[in-house]
Amino acid sequence: MLLAAILVLGVGTYTMRLGGVLLRERLTLSPGLQRLLPMAAAALLAALAGTATLMAGSGFAGVARPAGVAVGALLAWRRAPFVVVVVAAAAVAALLRLAGVD
């Protein structure tokens, strides 16, 4: 049962991954719709980042994580290298927790 569940989840996930890609090939999209697709992806990625930053389960994520992400986002906006953004975000969240702020 365990293996069956993992296989169904794996095959289902793969089907969705491949499905979108194949659908794009089969459809002839107007230029307007083609412009919409990267926007849709940006909205999904922004929402992933937003919910992962602010929410933990169905409640708020506390202080440390949003503060870390905010510092990372500020650095990214100031065009800091990607590595600096990632390390700074983690470091701020980790240090705040070390100081007892979560």
Site for other proteins in 12-31 (CB under 8 A): 12-14, 16-25
- Choose, by CB under 8 A, the member of 28, 30, 31, 45 that binds other proteins: 45
Q: Measured between alpha carbons, how far is 61 from 49 in angstroms, rounded to an integer?
A: 13
If phi over 0 gives left and psi between -120 and 50 gives alpha, with beta otherwise, what is residue 100? left
Decide: is 42 part of the binding site for other proteins (CB under 8 A). yes
* Distant-in-sequence contacts of 35-39, Cβ < 8 A, 24+ apart: none
> Does 6 participate in binding other proteins (rule CB under 8 A)?
yes
| Site track for other proteins across 60-99, x = CB under 8 A | ----xxxxxx-xxx--xx-xxxxx-xxxxxxxxxxx-x--
